[in-house]
């Protein structure tokens, strides 16, 4: 544990920091909710949910996603209190730096930046590959550049324009999920007039498999639950956008509650419908289970419709990721832990240089995914997965030390505009469950690479900070 003293930051002080930074408070609760939804609802639900069902079984997959939603609730409860206390852009870095220590803040910021920079490149690549369905004669890299230019433009105009674009991006995905739940649910009740086949399961009869409720054993559920944590990553983007939010004390808690409820309904509802509709032996990664369910209902052009929706989902996640990357670099520069050029803003309040560097990082990971050996790209993706859980652990730990320091310095918890319930149980439980997921990775050969590359990366960040900023960090503690 670092030795720097946690310094509580009163809400009014945090607000002034944001105002001084020059970033604009132009987003409301609906923008925050859709930014978080856009970051979460992506290929993990549309493409990988079939693999989850095949490994855990129908009931096991539903349980795994319920566990994932519970962990998201715990992390969001911690995040809500912190985001109001520190309403600054790129806030994960600020939370850890002020509540735990500057080295942890530095490491958290670079972990999260790397996570999304790698993800941006993978989103571009996947979108370009899906476009081959309609334009087989156009190279993938052409579509990657088109999508990169589009997302850069959306982020470069203004934070409000970004919020609006993400709002509409996310609506397409949410609409697809609602349609799946409604149409798939109707089919499970026996209503499928457009289908030409007569083999349709009724309600949850698919849950009783030949191997019982857990055909691959309960260990399959545990391993899958670890992967489900990654599927929920992106919900923490509300904290990144806190510094550009109107009335954070009201907007952030409202957005937190809405996000958790919607994720629970959409993720668990969609997985339940898919698992009840398709036999678990027949789902996998060769086809989106959404396409399979829509086809089973007899919906015309299901494959083309879902191909479009999945591309939109990938670009939406990339849009949120680029926003997050730029704000993390801006925040690092604002704290003096990155080149000051990254702190420069346009007249519209956009950190353009930080945005450009983040886009270059995304394009670099894209290039590595195309021309570098497969092991290199897998290493980058492993670090990204490791980083997400690491950031969640940082949020939980930051909340624990922030609240403890706040009380010790005479703060009145009852006077907080939002406080996480059941302290200290919530942050301790959130931290523990995330830690268990990292320990469990060591038992899974397909995920253990995350530890091989993630732990040395974290260690390198701490070592670099010690030699580059350590002495100054020990002698300068930000004032409350």
Local confidence band at 80 (pLDDT 50, 70, 90 cut-offs): confident
Identify the pLDDT of residue 52.
75
**DSSP element (H, E) containing 222:** helix 218-231
Identify the pLDDT of residue 460.
93
Q: Do residues 252 and 83 touch, judged by C-beta distance below 8 A?
A: yes
14 vs 369, more confident: 369
Using CA atoms, how far apart are residues 11 and 9, in angstroms rounded to an integer? 6
Average the pLDDT over 230-242 and give the result. Answer: 68
Using CA atoms, how far apart are residues 135 and 225, in angstroms rounded to an integer? 37
pLDDT, tens digit (0-9, with 9 covering 90-100), for 111-166: 888 777 777 777 777 777 778 778 888 877 788 888 888 888 877 776 566 666 66
Maximum CA extent, the chain: 74
Identify the pLDDT of residue 19.
38
Residues 6+ apart with CB under 8 A from 425: none
Identify the pLDDT of residue 479.
40
Q: Which is the CATH superfamily of the domain at 17-473?
A: Amino acid/polyamine transporter I (1.20.1740.10)
Identify the pLDDT of residue 34.
62
Average the pLDDT over 298-311 and give the result. Answer: 78
Q: Do residues 285 and 51 touch, judged by C-beta distance below 8 A?
A: yes
Local confidence band at 393 (pLDDT 50, 70, 90 cut-offs): very high
Q: Is the pLDDT of residue 54 over 70?
A: yes
Identify the pLDDT of residue 166.
65
The closest alpha carbon to 80, from 244, 234, 248, 245, belongs to 248
The closest alpha carbon to 175, from 272, 46, 298, 58, belongs to 46
The closest alpha carbon to 42, from 231, 270, 172, belongs to 231
Return mean pLDDT, the chain. Answer: 74
Q: What pTM did the predictor assign?
A: 0.76
Which tokens is 47 given? 């493409």
Q: Do residues 166 and 35 touch, judged by C-beta distance below 8 A?
A: yes
pLDDT, tens digit (0-9, with 9 covering 90-100), for 371-391: 653 445 455 566 677 888 888
Average the pLDDT over 201-205 and give the result. Answer: 70
Identify the pLDDT of residue 480.
38
The closest alpha carbon to 7, from 290, 376, 408, 295, belongs to 408
Place of tokens 């904290």: 239
């Amino acid at each position: 544990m670092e030795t720097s003293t946690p310094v509580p930051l009163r809400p009014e002080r945090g607000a002034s920091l944001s105002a001084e930074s020059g970033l604009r408070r132009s987003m409301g609760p609906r923008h925050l909710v859709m930014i978080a939804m856009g970051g979460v609802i992506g290929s993990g639900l549309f493409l990988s949910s079939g693999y989850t069902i095949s490994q855990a079984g129908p009931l096991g997959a539903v349980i795994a996603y319920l566990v994932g939603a519970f962990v998201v609730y715990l992390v969001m409860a911690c995040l809500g209190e912190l985001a109001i206390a520190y309403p600054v852009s790129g806030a994960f870095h600020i939370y850890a730096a002020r509540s735990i220590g500057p080295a942890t803040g530095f490491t958290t910021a670079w972990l999260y930046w790397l996570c999304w920079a790698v993800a941006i490149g993978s989103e571009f690549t996947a979108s370009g590959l899906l476009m081959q369905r309609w334009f087989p004669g156009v190279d993938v890299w052409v579509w990657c550049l088109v999508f990169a230019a589009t997302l850069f433009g959306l982020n470069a105009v203004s934070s409000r324009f970004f919020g609006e674009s993400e709002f509409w991006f996310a609506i397409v995905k949410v609409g697809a999920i609602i349609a799946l739940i409604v149409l798939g649910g109707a089919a499970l009740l026996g209503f499928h007039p457009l289908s030409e086949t007569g083999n349709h399961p009724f309600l949850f009869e698919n849950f009783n498999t030949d191997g019982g409720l857990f055909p691959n054993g309960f260990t399959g559920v545990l391993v899958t639950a670890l992967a489900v944590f990654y599927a929920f990553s992106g919900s923490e983007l509300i904290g990144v956008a806190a510094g550009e939010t109107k009335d954070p004390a009201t907007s952030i808690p409202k957005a937190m509650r809405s996000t958790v409820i919607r994720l629970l309904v959409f993720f668990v509802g969609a997985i339940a419908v898919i698992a009840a509709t398709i036999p678990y032996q027949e789902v996998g990664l060769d086809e989106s289970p959404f396409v399979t369910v829509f086809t089973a209902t007899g919906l015309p052009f299901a494959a083309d419709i879902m191909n479009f929706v999945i591309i939109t989902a990938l670009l939406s996640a990339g849009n949120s990721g680029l926003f997050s990357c730029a704000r993390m670099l801006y925040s690092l520069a604002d704290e003096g832990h990155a080149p000051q050029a990254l702190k420069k803003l346009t007249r519209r309040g956009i950190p353009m240089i930080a945005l450009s560097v983040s886009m270059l990082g995304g394009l670099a990971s894209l290039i590595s995914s195309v021309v570098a050996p497969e092991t290199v790209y897998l290493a980058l993706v492993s670090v990204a997965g490791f980083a997400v859980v690491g950031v969640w652990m940082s949020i939980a730990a930051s909340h624990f030390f922030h609240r403890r320091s706040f009380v010790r310095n005479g703060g009145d918890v009852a006077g907080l505009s939002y406080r996480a319930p059941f302290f200290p149980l919530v942050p301790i439980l959130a931290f523990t469950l995330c830690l268990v997921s990292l320990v469990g990775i060591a038992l899974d050969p397909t995920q253990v690479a995350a530890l091989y590359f993630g732990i040395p990366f974290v260690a390198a960040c701490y070592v670099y900070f010690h030699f580059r900023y350590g002495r100054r960090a020990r002698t300068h503690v930000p004032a409350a």
